Structure 1
Amino acid sequence: MKILLYSEHLKLVEKSGVGRAINHQKKALEENNLSYTINKKDDFDIVHINTVFPSSLWMSKFAKAKGKKVVYHAHSTEEDFKNSFRGSNFLAPFFKKWIMKCYSSGDLIITPTPYSKRLLKGYGLTNPIVNISNGIDLHYFAKNNQYSKRFREKYQLDESDKVIISVGLYIERKGILDFVELAKSMPEYTFIWFGYTNLNAVSTKVKKAVETTLPNLYFPGYVNSEELRDAYSGSDLFLFLTHEETEGIVLLEALAMKIPVLIRDIPIYEDWLTNNENVYKSNSLDQFKVSIKGILNKELPSLVEKGYEVAKERDIRFIGKQLEQEYRKLIAASEIEYTIEKAKNLNAGDTF
């Protein structure tokens, strides 16, 4: 069994959650000794598609025409397309129709969470859908004092400085407007947002927020995974203000790094993250302020060990086993289909 991880136009998504998910899949397959290729000219049994470009849909149809099985990974929904780039709300209904066309071409749809699975079923998709986490590499994302020291030195932070970080594109859906407002109202803390989007593509409100000048607010832009790991190690709180997600790989990274986590209380996290148990949740700016102070002043109990257990359940090696199970089901179904078709042809021949 050989898997084609279809990676055309990877450069366009490599700095996004989709790009990270593709890298996680490579690692998950390698850790489980599963054969894969990223070269579409190689022979393969199953194509696993993560993107929704026109070439991705073409690849799905091409593979099916060759008798190959297609796994379509649903990372995007209409809901998380909204409030992203300029004009995204107007385009969202058209985007939904397009992704439905892409996803419906698969023999199997994989999506990261039960929440995103419910959304897709609500669209009327009839293909089999399973939810499998994007996973987290616990060996790589592990807290280390050296990482912490490197982060603090780079950003000229004293040991006594309380640092709050977030990670994501410069888009409204990610909660960047609230992040800036909190920085304005809490000058005693340092706020750092990692990630980048061309400001020509974002709304006026987001552009204004990113261009805000405050002594305690920093936008270093996109950083590589090593620098991000340093930041997780050296900061005091991961603040995830997103309004909509299909999972949130950076959240898994923060949980794995055993950093206190405060998130917005949204439906996607109802199934697997519990307030006051493995994370803290808030909704309004006032609630976030209270929670931030409680966590950083250690007035609230640490939940990092319980949060780590959540990440542990999504270890990339376990995710690889889940993927393998679904791949093998498709191969078995393909063999059954071949046997049935062969029997039909033999019977048709007997008629003559």
Structure 2
Amino acid sequence: MKISHYFELEAHVTGGIRESVKNQRKMLDRLDLQYTTEPTLDADVFHCNLMGPRSVWYAKRARSRGIPVVAHTHVTAEDFGDSFRFTNALAKPLKPYLERAYGLADALVCPSEYNRRLLETYTDVPTTVISNGVDREKLEGFESLADEYRERYDLRPPVVFLVGHVIKRKGLATFVELARRRPDLDFAWFGPLDRSLKGRETLSLIDNAPDNCTFTGYVDDVRGAYAAGDIFCFPTHEENEGIALLEAMTAGKPILVRDIETFSWLEDGEDCLKVSGSGVDAFADAIDRLEDPDRRRELGAAAADRSDAFSLSAVADRYETLYAEVA
């Protein structure tokens, strides 16, 4: 079986989608499946990861030739808003476009049950939930980078941290306000800033953040982020799954999240702490509790155990099953 595993705009798209595609291809390598990263109709399955206009063009022609189309649902109108400049204006017309684009597929791959429930409002195409997975090998040896990255960014443990693009949707305002309320703690957000893509409100939050809130920009080795950080604080308002969350769990970090539907599979007080509502007070209280190193170790160990189910080796067979079903 040959798969056309296509990622439109691959040279330009970063963040979680890029990491998911990397993970998928590692899983395909594990399965010893033949695939090309080029869009081609000389394949048994056309699998697209981003339904841009070129992917739609190929999907239509694949269907006309009887080649099954698999589409990943990384992008929804719901998580597109409050991301980059102009995305709020584009979010409304994006949904009807995605309804038509995803409707061209024979099967949709959703990274979470929450994402699947959203997609059921877009189209009646059959859906399969397959986690983006977490590449455990990518994080190997991260502990050795702790001193280097703490010195580089002048961080003193316990460090409250987050990994990923700095965007409003991921709880930027909450993160900055938490840092302002806790001047005795260091807060660090590891990830690209892309200032030219930011709206005024986002730039204002970044530029007016307190001195104990560091925005590192792109880091050359993401393992350094997980080495330097002690409490993974993820106050995101909307997420399809959250690869950085899975990575932090794999690294054994205690997890603090907003109690949104995406994270319903996590158990509050067991493998994470959850905060309800949009206020900052509850997040501040949770951070108070996580100042106890024993509690951090306990929650971090439980998170690491829970992350086993998301390893690439645990997820890979789902792709082989899916391709066999559609081909």
Q: Same fold (TM over 0.5)?
A: yes
Q: Counterparts of 1:60 and 1:154 in 2: how far apart (Å)? A: 47
Does the C-alpha gap of structure 1 residues 157 and 175 become closer, same or farther in structure 2, counting only changes over 3 Å? closer
What residue is the counterpart of 1:316 in the other structure? Answer: 312
Q: TM-score, normalised by structure 2?
A: 0.93
1:139 match: 137
The offset of 1:145, in angstroms, is 3.1
Counterpart residue number, 2:210: 214
Unaligned runs of 5+ in 2: none
In 1, the alpha carbon distance for the partners of 2:69 and 2:21 equals: 16
CA distance in 2, matches of 1:145, 1:18: 26
SS of 1:106's equivalent in the other structure is coil
Deviates more, 1:70-79 or 1:298-307: 298-307
Q: In structure 1, how many angstroms separate the alpha carbons of the residues matched to 2:41 and 2:102?
A: 23
Q: CA deviation at 1:199?
A: 2.8
Deviation, 1:184, is: 1.0
Aligned-pair CA distance for 1:144 = 4.2
Q: How does 1:273-352 map to 2 (within 5 A)?
A: 273-283=266-276, 284-298=279-293, 300=295, 302-331=298-327
Alpha-carbon contact 1:239-1:262 (below 8 Å) kept:
yes
1:154 alignment counterpart = 152
Provide the rounded CA distance (Å) in 2 between the counterparts of 1:36 and 1:298. Answer: 46
Whether 1:248 aligns to 2:242 is yes
Cα deviation digits, residues 277-316 of structure 1 (max 9, x gap): 1111113311111111211233746212221122110111
Counterpart in the other structure of 1:29: 28
Return the offset for 1:258. Answer: 0.5
Q: What is the root-mean-square deviation in Å for CA atoms of aligned residues?
A: 1.8
Aligned residue pair count: 324
Q: Equivalent residue for 2:4? A: 4
Q: Secondary structure at the match of 1:140?
A: helix
Contact 1:143 1:257 in 2 (8 A): no
Q: Secondary structure at the match of 1:231?
A: helix
Matched letter for residue 316 of structure 1: L
What residue ranges of structure 1 are gaps of 5+ in the alignment? 332-352
> Alpha carbons of 1:307 and 1:299: their partners in 2 closer, same or farther (altered >3 Å)?
closer
How far has the Cα of 1:320 moved from its partner?
A: 1.4
Give the secondary structure class of the aligned counterpart of 2:92. helix
Please tell me the residue identity of whatever aligns with 2:130: I
Moved more, 211-220 or 21-30: 211-220
In the aligned structure 1, how far is the partner of 2:208 from the partner of 2:18?
29
CA contact (8 A) 1:142 1:256 kept: no
CA distance, structure 1, for counterparts of residue 147 and residue 88 of structure 2: 42
Measure, in 2, the Cα distance between the counterparts of 1:144 and 1:113.
Answer: 27
Identity among equivalent pairs (%): 34
2:218, 2:41 → 1: CA distance? 33
**1:130, 1:145 → 2: CA distance?**
35
Pick the structure with greater CA Rg.
1
Residue 142 of structure 1 and its aligned partner are, at CA, apart by: 4.0
Match of 2:232 in 1: 238
SS at match of 1:177: helix
Q: What is the TM-score of this pair, normalised by structure 1?
A: 0.87
1:16 equivalent in alignment to 2:21: no
In the TM superposition, what is the alpha-carbon distance from 1:143 to its structure 2 partner?
5.7
Q: What CA distance in whole angstroms lies between the structure 1 residues aligned with 2:179 and 2:260?
A: 22
Q: Hey, what's the Cα distance between the residues in 2 that align with 1:90 and 1:211?
A: 24
Task: After TM superposition, list the pairs within 5 Å mapping 1:57-76 onto structure 2.
Answer: 57-76=56-75
Q: Aligned partners of 1:88, 1:111: CA distance in 2, in Å?
A: 22
Write the distance in 1 (CA, Å) between the matches of 2:207 and 2:200. Answer: 11
Structure 1 residue ranges, 4+ long, deviating more than 4 angstroms after superposition: none
8 Å CA contact retained: 2:158, 2:186 = yes
Task: Tell me how far 1:66 sits from its aligned partner.
Answer: 3.0
